[in-house]
Structure 1
Amino acid sequence: SERAVRPPSRPRPPLLVLRAAPLPAYTSMDLGALFGGSSAPARLLIERDQFVLDGQNFTVRAGCVHYFRVHPDLWEDRLARIAALGLNAVQTYVPWNYHQAWNASSLGPARVDLDSPSRDLPRFLRLAHGLGLRVVLRPGPYVCGEFEFGGLPAWLLRDGPIELRTDAEPYMGHVERWWGELLPRLRREGLMLDDGGPVMLVQIENECAASLRPRVLVAAGETARHQSGERERAEREQREQTRRGAEGSRESPPHMLLSHWCEYVPNPYLGPIAHAKPLHTSPAAALRYGHFGDVSEVEADRRYLERLADLARRHLGDGAQLFTSDPDDLAKLTRGTLSPSASRLGSEVLTTVDSCDVPEDAWAAQRSFNPPGRSPFFCSELWVGWFAHWGEPARPNLAAQRARDVAERLRRVLAVNGGTGSVSLYMAHGGTSFGWWAGANTADGMYLPDTPSYDYGAPIDEGGGHGLDEAGGDKYAALQSVLLEAPSGGGSSVPSSSPSASRPPSPPAEPQPLREEPPPPRRLSSTVEVELPEAVRLMEAETLAALSGGGRCCDELPLPMEEVGCDYGIVVYETELPAGGGGPLQVSRLRDRLLAFVDGEFVGRMYRQQGWGRADPKGLLMPPPRPYPRTLRLLVENLGRVGFVDLPWFSRTFLLDQRKGILGGVWLNGTLLNRTGPDGQAGWRTHCLPFDDAQLDVLRRLPARQPSGLLDTAGSVALGAGSVALDAGSVAVSVAGAMLHLAQGSDRDSPPSLPSSLPSLWS
């Protein structure tokens, strides 16, 4: 929460507070003065395959840090550590969904928030500027980054699936309004390079062709037609079964058949292409354009990137160099970049590459898509580690990301083109996906939710200290030694002038990196138990009614979260079971994790029928029948919308429908639960629980009790040795997501054993 917390009505345990490591004696303004004061407006040019800034050759040495994954009180600390690492720039995404919520009053997108503490992007950029760091900005509108829905707002799905990341309405209308608020704000605050600010490079979209696979379906037309026919047959059968179920049939629910089309991928060239609502595109288009980004053949995709570039120029002027970023693969670059042969903007928008396992080959691929002499080698993402999914080992692929190996890869990137190679370390500091912001991926048709920890095996770890590899190698020290020893790439001194009162002083073209690192964070020397003595009973009718204002009533069937105004968090579906009701409970198209309760008693759980989940095809066994009605409550948790799809051919279609909750039906003993009450109203009530500021205020006023039951279990949480040091005392857990994950961490299937890190307390 970013608002002041009102005093509780009765004594509560003291909150847990992190003491951030103190910064060195210098301040951001001192550092700006150290680098020469303010400068005349600068311009980043490209000449002879090199970046040129103020007439001097310039190499970009950026480190990725996401301001939205770091507490705002720690922004300056993390940026100072990046500067001390030997970098001259910071790179960050700007996730659309983080800055623009849904306005329930106006029933439309809210105004863009660039002012609240954790969303104050201008302040973050000014802090970087004051520390002598230039900025590589990646404003999307799609960003990936293992962030919820790849940074796209969930409210885009409120009217059902729509076409995304292409020149189609209503998507592009929303994009124009989003950038129409974001980009002019950066210009007005003097943050662009030609206004004396730090932003020198601006990325257009992100890895448009990264999900590409060989065009098997195009070559196998009969297979595509056969699969399309099978899909239509399955949908007809689903509609007929649902109709019969609504008439009281006790036949087996159809969800096992349709769920395979929606969730499983038994055939490697099938994807989740069934939808509860009509798709806003033709089936042929869905089959043909299953991946994202094909500017070489798809007119709408080429227009999409060109419209984004035109928007950026209109709002930002000519002061920033625009660029795209795609994997260093010729096929993907062909489909994802605005090369001169494919676009009227090919000579204006720089093509860059990521991955860069073989830097010379990566540069050769990059040069193929830029005009001669206009291709400075820029590895826009040099991966120094990796992220983790629930159910995977912590830090997967860590053995391949040893400190000395990453340092050697960095050395080879910097050596390209006579030592003028530019780079951005992904990540320099990963941070934490707070609240509900962790996203999800797919791999071979499996749904893989990301963990909140985004440590990434970065040189600056999640707690702010030096990142270590599995052998104890110090990544920070290894990369710093390469960066400080490599040639600086030039840079000119800039005459001092009186600093502007409206913006911080500007550093010269390439300041020498800081060599003094802030003190490391203090860490625990032994395990500490954090007591959680009280709890609010979430699944009681009074609690749900207080939090959701009584909820939405009444619907014949459960609706997706987005259709009931719930974009993030938890949704609780509530209905009355008839007298005598019993037998197995089955749910179709569950997104993502369900806990079932009858009269407040926990009866079992289900997972999304895909990937790491272990849903029982037979359903949950309900309590024995009773001669009286009972209340059924289904708590469904959104584990994160997919932001990156590794599915053959259906990645576009898959992303089009990332709605959450229950998208199908609920059956008890084979009967569809769509019963209506005696007044003729339908029988499903829905409670939306995003646990936003308003609901947290309600929670603080609700009576806390001694814990009983699954969801309100108190007790203690162990913080192991090596965790960031915390003040003594106990903690009142007020954020439901944290409460659920702490209280039920063992409930996850093989959760990764990530190191404990509590960067700060948010409320």
Structure 2
Amino acid sequence: MFMLDGQPLQIRSGEMHPARIPAEYWLHRIRMAKAMGLNTISIYLMWNHLEREPGEFDLRTGNRDFVRFIRLCQSEGMWAYLRPGPYICGEWDYGGLPPYLLRKPDIRVRDKDDIDYMAAVRRYIGTIASQIAPLMACNGGPVLMLQVENEYASFGHDLGYLKQLRALWEAHGIHGPFTISDGLAQIKQQQTYLPGAALGLDGDTDFAAAQSIAGDAPVWVGEGYPGWLTHWGDKDFQRGDYAATLRGLMQQGHSFNLYVVHGGTNFGFTAGANAKGDYSQFEPVITSYDYGAPINERGEATPDYHVFRKLFATHAQRPLPDVPASQPAIRFAPVMPLAHASLWDNLPPATAVRTPQANELLFAQDHGLVLYRREIHGGSGALTIDGVRDYATVFSDGIYIDAVSRVEHPRLRKGNRVALPSGVAANPALIDILVDSFGYVGYGQAMADRKGIVGSIRLDGEVLENWDVCSLPLDGAFIRQLKPVVNTPSRAGIFFKAIVRLNRLGDSYIDMTGWTKGYLWVNGQLLGRYWNLGPQQRLYCPASWFRHGDNELPIFDLHQTVAAPIHGATTLHA
């Protein structure tokens, strides 16, 4: 049991992440959680959202100002539960770790004995601790507890690592209370309970077994799941059924954290991925982080919200606040994008390499595309590409041949062999391999998920060497310098652009049903990835990303040479 100022406290927490919510909607989402009957907001801090390059921190712009978010919680009479990592999982890119760590060939993340990793951790904690300290409850702030790492027992067994992280926080003036959160079975197996910390159970309610581990420290549900994550290729959006469990927790007076009460969106490149420890069975997370949560992606109350609210109301000492009104939503009529620029007419200078190398090691590139190019002579034309991370389109003399996907799915071709067309074997041909990446694996053992091509390229078993490689990061600088040239409109790899004229603003879901696989921007900001593999076909755009009058919506599609109309809808589901 938790105690606050000598009195028992039932923490009724709901998770939401400032990094997944437009900052102008933070207050609305907090108020939605309060009106449902919660008294606490649980918050992940994504390290890589705050420090993109070593030593370059941004704690203020956009939705990075977590101090402001926590103060908003306090202004609404809500407590906060802070989970700053350094690793957080959360289906976020690389579990929140900065991908720049992967530029070190032998980095061992989540390891106290790796000098480079721990130096970065010390810099991160040293930077944010001064911001967090005034927010702790002991200093008059709303933060009840600070979590040390996350689900470490699903990765390692070095209790000394967790102790060292706690010592780092203490060295910067934060003395707890501390908590950990993990699966009960994993904690038992790995023996990674951090002495004195509150013990959060992820997906478990065996309080008696957990209490035998935690001793006198509080035990609670660190993550209870009213919904679940969705991967590209899933048959449908995942859902949950948590009402009965929640009813039991309330009746018994146990504290809990709903993961998540509101999910938000994996804007840009921020969606993560899952895989087995050997990097197989790769499953990238969709752009939406709706999660089947009680508060949906754009902040509306779902049927689960009202079920939970009714349950909480029966245990409330005073009437719950009214449910805030939803934000305005708009539709817009179908618009036909036009071809704007060809990737092939915008290639940067190439780097010559003998054998393929990971993007991080070759270009210090974290996301986007890379192009491998060379001429081939002779052979029967069976091209094998090992270690594609994560999706490659193959061209011969500018003609699309086939695609290789790390994702396994009945609708996708199996294997990594591409049969080149007849005639190529006898004559020189220019081979292009355009490699697209999803987010980094952020859970389990596969924590060195470098991108690009990490194996060999072979023609009929013979290793092909000496490639020209182009870095195509699809970042803001790359997009801004695109030349509006399309010399070969029949060749896939085209940037299209739609102009959407709006007389009024509101949230909207942009329907990409007619497109294949690629990226969508709105007025210079990357909404995220789309893929006709589904189940997501509509991408959420907050009202603040639109503007009155003409809006530019660039689209890059890996396959299409002919545009399809796009339109604005008001729901994630068609």
Task: Using structure 1 for the length normalisation, give the TM-score.
Answer: 0.64
> What does residue range 623-702 of structure 1 map to in structure 2 within 5 Å?
624-625=423-424, 630-645=429-444, 651=445, 654-655=446-447, 657-675=448-466, 684-699=467-482, 702=484
* Matched residue SS, 1:757: strand
Alignment root-mean-square deviation, CA: 3.2
Contact 2:221 2:257 in 1 (8 A): yes
Distance 1:762 1:602, change over 3 A: farther
In structure 1, the residue matched to 2:394 is 596
- CA-CA distance at 1:134 after TM superposition: 1.3
CA distance in 1, matches of 2:324, 2:137: 28
| Partner deviation per Cα, 1:489-520 (whole Å, 9 max, x = no partner) | xxxxxxxxxxxxxxxxxxxxxxx685122212
Distance 1:580 1:592, change over 3 A: same
Contact 1:575 1:632 in 2 (8 A): yes
Contact 1:585 1:666 in 2 (8 A): yes
| Partner deviation per Cα, 1:34-67 (whole Å, 9 max, x = no partner) | xxxxxxxxxxxxxxxx322233322211110011
Question: Match for 1:208 among 114, 139, 152?
Answer: 152
- CA-CA distance at 1:567 after TM superposition: 3.6
- CA-CA distance at 1:316 after TM superposition: 3.7
> What does residue range 500-539 of structure 1 map to in structure 2 within 5 Å?
515-523=321-329, 528-539=333-344
Distance 1:717 1:628, change over 3 A: farther
CA distance in 1, matches of 2:398, 2:525: 18
Distance 1:456 1:727, change over 3 A: closer
1:177 aligns with 2:123: yes
CA distance in 2, matches of 1:707, 1:80: 50
In structure 1, the residue matched to 2:243 is 407
- CA-CA distance at 1:424 after TM superposition: 0.8
In structure 2, the residue matched to 1:366 is 210
Task: Using structure 2 for the length normalisation, give the TM-score.
Answer: 0.84
In structure 2, the residue matched to 1:427 is 260
Contact 1:557 1:674 in 2 (8 A): yes
| Residue identity in the other structure for 1:709 | R
In structure 1, the residue matched to 2:347 is 544
Contact 2:231 2:284 in 1 (8 A): yes
| Residue identity in the other structure for 2:340 | A
In structure 2, the residue matched to 1:259 is none
- CA-CA distance at 1:544 after TM superposition: 1.7
CA distance in 2, matches of 1:734, 1:600: 31
CA distance in 2, matches of 1:185, 1:61: 25
- CA-CA distance at 1:475 after TM superposition: 0.6
| Partner deviation per Cα, 1:442-500 (whole Å, 9 max, x = no partner) | 26951111111111110100121122xxxxxx111011111222155xxxxxxxxxxxx
Percent identity between matched residues is 30
Question: Match for 2:70 among 125, 129, 140?
Answer: 125
> What does residue range 52-63 of structure 1 map to in structure 2 within 5 Å?
52-63=3-14
Question: Match for 2:112 among 155, 160, 167?
Answer: 167
| Residue identity in the other structure for 1:199 | V
- CA-CA distance at 1:702 after TM superposition: 4.2
- CA-CA distance at 1:627 after TM superposition: 8.2
* Matched residue SS, 1:632: strand
Q: Could you say which structure has the higher strand fraction?
A: 2
Question: Match for 2:156 among 273, 293, 302?
Answer: 293
Q: Could you say which structure has the higher helix fraction?
A: 1
CA distance in 1, matches of 2:509, 2:166: 49
| Partner deviation per Cα, 1:102-158 (whole Å, 9 max, x = no partner) | 3xxxxxx13222122121111221222212221111111111111111111222121
Contact 1:323 1:351 in 2 (8 A): yes
Which ranges in structure 1 are unaligned for 5 or more consecutive residues?
Answer: 1-49, 103-108, 211-291, 295-300, 340-345, 468-473, 489-511, 646-650, 676-683, 719-723
1:436 aligns with 2:290: no
- CA-CA distance at 1:335 after TM superposition: 2.1
Contact 1:93 1:137 in 2 (8 A): yes
* Matched residue SS, 2:347: helix
| Residue identity in the other structure for 2:63 | S
Contact 2:476 2:524 in 1 (8 A): no
CA distance in 2, matches of 1:695, 1:55: 57
| Partner deviation per Cα, 1:59-95 (whole Å, 9 max, x = no partner) | 2111100111111222122112111111111111112
CA distance in 2, matches of 1:708, 1:68: 39
CA distance in 2, matches of 1:364, 1:555: 58
* Matched residue SS, 1:614: coil
Contact 1:206 1:324 in 2 (8 A): yes
Distance 1:702 1:617, change over 3 A: closer
* Matched residue SS, 1:205: coil
| Partner deviation per Cα, 1:522-576 (whole Å, 9 max, x = no partner) | 446x884243234221123xx122xxxx24x221112101112344322323333
- CA-CA distance at 1:434 after TM superposition: 1.1
Which ranges in structure 2 are unaligned for 5 or more consecutive residues?
Answer: 501-505, 513-519, 547-574
Structure 1 moving runs of 4+ over 6 Å: 715-718, 734-737
| Partner deviation per Cα, 1:617-658 (whole Å, 9 max, x = no partner) | 54242463398754432211111221123xxxxx3xx32x31
> What does residue range 189-204 of structure 1 map to in structure 2 within 5 Å?
190-204=134-148
- CA-CA distance at 1:673 after TM superposition: 2.0
CA distance in 1, matches of 2:391, 2:151: 30
| Partner deviation per Cα, 1:665-715 (whole Å, 9 max, x = no partner) | 21234432214xxxxxxxx2322223223223223x645799643232749
CA distance in 1, matches of 2:338, 2:268: 22
Distance 1:304 1:425, change over 3 A: same
1:313 aligns with 2:170: yes
CA distance in 2, matches of 1:333, 1:487: 36
